[in-house]
Structure 1
Amino acid sequence: MRIFLVGMMGSGKTTLGRQLATQLGYTFVDLDEYIERREGKSIAQLFEQEGQEQFRLKERQALEAVVQEYDQAVIATGGGAPCFLDNMQFINRSGKSFFLDVPVEELVNRLLNSDLSVRPLLAGKSTEELNHFMTKTLSERLWFYRQAHYTLSGNIQTSEALLTLINYI
């Protein structure tokens, strides 16, 4: 089974995904890291040099490649991945999807405690700008995220809670 984790930046897709993959004995794939290895450039460089539209095409190609390459994997998508092209439908056809639904306030707190320079859409934003951006972006993306097969809500999510949910599927 392929398990796709979708949600906003800072929702814990990579952290929970790594833990869950270990618990299941699956391969863990962070889609952004996969793209960086494949392209030989950072996500920030791809955005800067090629633009968001070209990046989204590369992101889709990476999604397709990961699905071809792995039958048993936990895949942490980038925050925007489900929202472009028909990626959310592709994700849902290719495995089980889980939306990590974390309140904006918690997302902002987590992001402020990370290196924003590695996130092209957030680099250089003040706390107020970050809060506004995350609120606006979440409202735009929620329609896509809610198409996930399952939703795990709240600001305290664990790989054990995900594993319990997966065991009931």
Structure 2
Amino acid sequence: VVLIGYMGSGKSTIGKELAILLSYNFLDLDDYISEREETTITDIFKEKGEIYFRKKETEYLNEIINSLDNVVLALGGGTPCYGNNLSVIKKSENIISVYLKLSIPLLAKRLFPERGNRPLISHLKSEEELIEFIGKHLFERSPFYAKADYIINTDYKSKKDILEAILMQLI
């Protein structure tokens, strides 16, 4: 099961719980990249740039898809939008993709306090700037996210409700 969605949409949080319910392993692609590169995502962006990061992201995504079964994989927010990542996910018969869709104001509310840990938004000074940034980003990314097998609207839903909605699609 591959979880896609914008940063802050709950992919890792929901993914960990979903993995437990399914008796699968959980992997966060960003954590996997950090581990393999032996540095943080922030430092990869700073020292080697986004292009290097996106190449590594594709490489490690393919590695995971081709070598692991029974995994809940939380992608980075941009992963489905770069290279052939989305087509690799869509072409695999063993993968079910789920888009965790959260509204812009709720994303901003979640992300603003933790923007220091997120390289793409660390420079934004106000919640208004963040809302504008997310809006532009989502405009570009939504067509990719919308190609997921299932779309779960997570606005004002509890973890339990989100997990139930995903499990209903997987049955």
Same fold (TM over 0.5): yes
Root mean square deviation, CA, Å: 1.1
Residue in 2 aligned with 1:144? 144
Per the alignment, in what secondary structure is the counterpart of residue 158 of structure 1? helix
Check the 8 A contact 2:152/2:162 in 1, yes or no.
no
Moved over 4 A (4+): none
Residue in 1 aligned with 2:116? 117
Normalised TM-score (structure 1): 0.93
Residue in 1 aligned with 2:163? 159
Instruction: Give distance in 2, aligned partners of 1:164 and 1:91.
Output: 21
Residue in 2 aligned with 1:60? 58
Q: Which runs of 5+ in 2 are unaligned?
A: none
1:127 to partner: Cα distance? 1.1
Instruction: Give distance in 2, aligned partners of 1:8 and 1:70.
Output: 24
Instruction: Give distance in 2, aligned partners of 1:50 and 1:159.
Output: 37
Normalised TM-score (structure 2): 0.92
Q: How does 1:1-169 map to 2 (within 5 A)?
A: 3-94=1-92, 95-113=95-113, 115-125=114-124, 126-155=126-155, 156=157, 158-167=162-171
Instruction: Give distance in 1, aligned partners of 2:153 and 2:88.
Output: 23
Check the 8 A contact 1:11/1:107 in 2, yes or no.
yes
1:99 to partner: Cα distance? 0.8
Count of residues paired in the alignment? 164
Q: Which amino acid aligns with 2:118?
A: R
Q: Which runs of 5+ in 1 are unaligned?
A: none
Instruction: Give distance in 1, aligned partners of 2:145 and 2:67.
Output: 24
